[in-house]
Structures are given as structure tokens and as C-alpha cells.
Structure 1
């Protein structure tokens, strides 16, 4: 037998085995995905994070067209429930974690910051007084924790009487915004009274249509990202942080989107209701497409944070979050 004829099948088999092993090595490396491999990432959760995650998915797809995204808003509670039940790969989450959630094995990375802001209608008859005086933590507790709805004279000084009754709105869904906002005045979402409204868009619309109402929204639903101005029909109830009964100059940072985001980033706006926003998984992520997406969000994806109306994390904190993926 010719020696070339004898060794040819052996050489071919060796090449095939090396090719298979090499392919396995690249796909096993954490955070990498074999070129051309199709994948799907399902995401649900907080309304607060939905616009930014949608932008991230669109931008990520430009360099990773083989990854398909399914993104649904439904509140932080839904994001947690879906992830822990295995119904989605990632959850959008917008409040602090409870010990029970940590004990169940939730894993997370912080990806940006924003804030929850108390809101009123631009047609509110007490708008001028509110913007002169502001409201305190105690005022907010009076509004949302009373068994009976208070009147406007219970939270601001009026020349005559108690004024008209306040229409109080809250969230009907398990919402990170509601929990974060309630924590500012020492409560939890379940402690809050008010007419329950589903979701950020619904709550903003309810406040817009009722001149005597109060509500609360994430920054992205109070301001228009493009113009930087407040959304039509929506005004802000400013915080009287030093409780002196006057909205001082250094407490007035609500005129436009840039001003409020700067206040959140610098810590002038209190935290809570300023807060970090998270992407969560059930246990440490193992799906290569998910890992690649999270790494991209914390690196290249950060360039889209500020233009989308959110506050970027500082570099040291980003490195800390990336280390969770690289361990």
C-alpha cells in the first residue's frame, strides 16, 4: 500500500478533530459567541429602564445581527418574577433588593441611574404656591399615607382654609418607582394609599388629566429627551430639602432634563428617590449571548446612557460591575 494512501484518512481525521476542539474552545469562553450562531434574549420588567434597554438592543444588533431581542415592560415586580421563573433571560429592575430575593439567588449588575419625581398637572390651581414653598418628606407622607385624602392646605400654606381635596394616584403594579418613592418618606409601596394606576405612562396621563391630582414618575416619563423640557401637561412638585418653607435657589433644579440629571449625578437630588437601575438574572448568567450583551452594555453601551436621558455610572463603579461578569 502506498504510504500516502495509508496516512491520508488519518490526517483528514486529525484536522477535523482539531477543528471541532477549536470551535468548542471559542464558544466555551465566557462572553463570546460563535460567529453566525443565532440566539434570542428575552427581557421584561421596569418601565424606568425599558427605553434605554430598547436603545441598547438596537445598537447591539448593529454588530450582533444574529441575536434577537424580545423586550417587554411590565414593572420591576414582573421583571423579577419572570426571571426567577425562567420565563425570561434578563429582568429590568429599579429598586433595592430584598433579602428574600437575594436568598433566592437573584444576580445583578447596575447599569445606570435615574430618579423618581413627584408630579402634578400644569393646570393645578396651587402651582405657584407649590413652586415657592416646595414639599417636605413629612408633606409627602401626609399625602400618601393618610387613610383619608388630604386637602392642599394640609401640605402648603394657604391664605384661606384647607383648599380643595387632593386626588392621590399611586401604582397598581409592583413597581420599583413606587417602592423607591415610598422609601423616601419611610414607607413601602403597599403602605401607600391612592387610586392605583398601571405603569409609568398611565400614571403620567392620569396626573395630566386631573388638575387636583398628585403622582410620581421616573425622569424619562416627566421630561422629553429630545427637547429637554417637561412633557406636556406635567409639572413637578419640588422638594423643600431643608424644611424652611421656601424653595431655595440650590433646591430648584427642575427646569429641564439636564438640570435634574446633573442634580441626580451630584447627589443634590436625594437618594432615594434617586436610584440605580439593574439588569438581573436567575443566578450567575451562563448564556453566552446574555454575557456578551451585559459586557457591551457596561462598556460601549454607556455612550448611549446620557443621550437617552439617564445618568451614567462612574468608571470605578463600572469596573466593579464588569468584575462580576469576569469572575
Structure 2
């Protein structure tokens, strides 16, 4: 009788141990590698997330390459990478190919000029109307700065993206158009576009928030500054429209819905079908939980608690 009780106790202990033993997907010894490519918009925060995740899982290798949202979606659907970084909504064709999107954070595309632009002071007093931006970037009707009310007949040098970019697609969507409808000299990547505008006092372009502001000083950097949008079209920049002074003000405006969406937008991790790779799942779960504490300091906007819950359910 005693042997039977001992045997039963040992069996119970064995079951409990098995049920509570860490799995390879959740234990500290999680090992393996994942590859990621895509949107410049998501690249900086993804690098930060990877660094922090690897502190908990040092045997995991995460390779991350920027190259634009178009590259991200192409790479993941062709199974070249495990994850595509995509800074726009997926289209029907991509969804039919089993692209599976998980929102991880949010940011915004903003119009930019050179910090040395002679038009900066006036633009910061009156802003720029959406209609004027449309006539610069889409119709091409406004070709000189005097069409915007300035005395200078200097040409407006318009810059856009050469790569298939979520930022460009989102900026075009603000006007009800697509990336191919955007006018201007095409430049590769967010950094390249920022540099082109920086060097040209007569230039105008657009960038994601993190390529305009320094997250340490919270001020515009890289020699480019945002152009405030005159949201109510009254010809002046009202106090409730003037939220470009530092990155925290702009992030708060995006989160509160004061800055329009688009060009504000969600940013996505995209997988080929629902994620099944244990390391990919663990990384995404980390991003949507502990990793969110790095979002604001990196210059991005946190998703709402409800949104985070919805996105987490996609990887369970």
C-alpha cells in the first residue's frame, strides 16, 4: 500500500513538472535566428526591440535590413525573410497571397523643408494648407514659391521617394492618390530624402517623424524641419495647430488625433500566413508587451490598450 502511494506521488510530481517546464519558445535558452527587412519607418525601433530582446535571449540572432516597405512585403511573401516591415495598410492582392499583418506601433509622415529655407519663418506663422500641398506634390500646379504668397519667384524643388515606400504611399493617400502620382525628384530612402531637402533651401519633401527629430534633444535635426499644416485653412497657424516644436508635442498630437490620419498611420510586422515560427512569435509578443516601453522614447506613438490586445491575439 505504501509503495502504491509513493508511486502515485511520484507520478503526480512528474505531471506537474512536465506542465510547468519551460518550452523552447518561452525559456531563457530560446535559440535560433530570424530575418527581417523593410520599411525605413520601422527600422530604428525594430533595432531597439531586437537589442533588448536579445538581452533576455542571447542565443537568438536577429538580422534586420532597411530597404523600404515594398522590399519588406516582397521579401516576406517570397519567403526570403521571416518578417517584413511595412509602413502602410496591406492591399487585397497582398492579403490574397497570405500576407498577415500585426500592428506594432504608430507614427506619421510630415512635410519638410530645409532648416536653412528662407521661407521657414513665414510658414511657421501661417502654416501651409492641404490644398497647397496637393498643388505641389500631386497636380504640379504650384511650381514657384510666389504661388504660395511669397514674393520670391524661386522654383519649388519637390522631392519624393524612388523606392516603393510606405511613407510615400501614405503621403499620397493624404490627397486620395497613390505613390506613383507624387511629383518630384525621386530619392531612395528616408535618410536620402532628408539629406536632399536639407541641402536645398528651395526644396520641399516629406519624412517619417524619426528622420526629422532627434530623440535625445526632442528637437528637429538632420538639417530639416517640419512644415506646419494649416488644418482649419484660416491662413494662420493657431495655437492648437502649433505642435511641431518638439517630438513629444507632435507625438501627443498624433495620439490625440489632432494630426490627420493619413498621413499618420499604423506600422506593421508582416508574416507569410499567421506566424508559426516560435522565435518570431516570441519576438512579436515581447514587442506588444514589454517592448512598448521603448516606443515613446524612440519617437513613435503607442498603440491603445485595446489595439495591443487585438494584435496580441493574432500570435496566440
Does TM-score exceed 0.5, indicating one fold?
yes
Residue 271 of structure 1, aligned match among 235, 257, 261: 261
* Deviation (angstroms), 1:193: 1.3
1:290 corresponds in structure 2 to 280
Tell me if the contact between 2:124 and 2:237 (Cα under 8 Å) persists in the aligned partners: yes
2:77 corresponds in structure 1 to 84
CA-to-aligned-CA distance 1:12-33 (integer Å, 9 cap, x gap): xxx9xx99xx69x9658xxx25
Matching of residue 93 in structure 1 with residue 83 in structure 2: no
Matching of residue 306 in structure 1 with residue 296 in structure 2: yes
Mapped to 1, the partners of 2:27 and 2:81 lie a distance apart of 22
CA-based RMSD: 2.0
Q: Whose Rg is larger?
A: 1
Tell me if the contact between 2:143 and 2:155 (Cα under 8 Å) persists in the aligned partners: yes
Mapped to 2, the partners of 1:163 and 1:246 lie a distance apart of 22
Matching of residue 227 in structure 1 with residue 221 in structure 2: no
Tell me if the contact between 2:69 and 2:86 (Cα under 8 Å) persists in the aligned partners: yes
CA-to-aligned-CA distance 1:50-93 (integer Å, 9 cap, x gap): 01000000000011111101000000000000000000001111
Tell me if the contact between 1:121 and 1:235 (Cα under 8 Å) persists in the aligned partners: yes
Where structure 1 has 5 or more consecutive residues not aligned to the other structure, the ranges are 1-14
Give the 5 Å matches for 1:133-152: 133-147=126-140, 150-152=143-145
- The secondary structure found in structure 1 opposite 2:190 is helix
TM-score by length of 1: 0.88
Matching of residue 69 in structure 1 with residue 62 in structure 2: yes
* Deviation (angstroms), 1:149: 6.3
Tell me if the contact between 1:115 and 1:274 (Cα under 8 Å) persists in the aligned partners: yes
Matching of residue 56 in structure 1 with residue 49 in structure 2: yes
Mapped to 1, the partners of 2:176 and 2:129 lie a distance apart of 12
Residue 122 of structure 1, aligned match among 115, 118, 126: 115
TM-score by length of 2: 0.91
Tell me if the contact between 1:149 and 1:165 (Cα under 8 Å) persists in the aligned partners: no
1:187 corresponds in structure 2 to 177
2:124 corresponds in structure 1 to 131
* Deviation (angstroms), 1:255: 0.3
Tell me if the contact between 1:149 and 1:167 (Cα under 8 Å) persists in the aligned partners: no
* Deviation (angstroms), 1:182: 1.0
* Deviation (angstroms), 1:168: 0.6
CA-to-aligned-CA distance 1:132-168 (integer Å, 9 cap, x gap): 22112211111112357611122x223x4x6211001
1:176 corresponds in structure 2 to 166
- The secondary structure found in structure 1 opposite 2:237 is coil
- The secondary structure found in structure 2 opposite 1:114 is strand
CA-to-aligned-CA distance 1:224-264 (integer Å, 9 cap, x gap): 00010110421211101111111111111000011100101
Residue 199 of structure 1, aligned match among 189, 192, 195: 189
Mapped to 2, the partners of 1:39 and 1:228 lie a distance apart of 36
- The secondary structure found in structure 2 opposite 1:307 is coil
Cα pair distance change 1:148/1:251, threshold 3 Å = closer
Residue 149 of structure 2, aligned match among 150, 157, 176: 157
Mapped to 2, the partners of 1:320 and 1:46 lie a distance apart of 23
Alignment coverage as a number of residue pairs? 301
* Deviation (angstroms), 1:97: 1.3
Mapped to 1, the partners of 2:81 and 2:68 lie a distance apart of 14
Mapped to 2, the partners of 1:129 and 1:203 lie a distance apart of 23
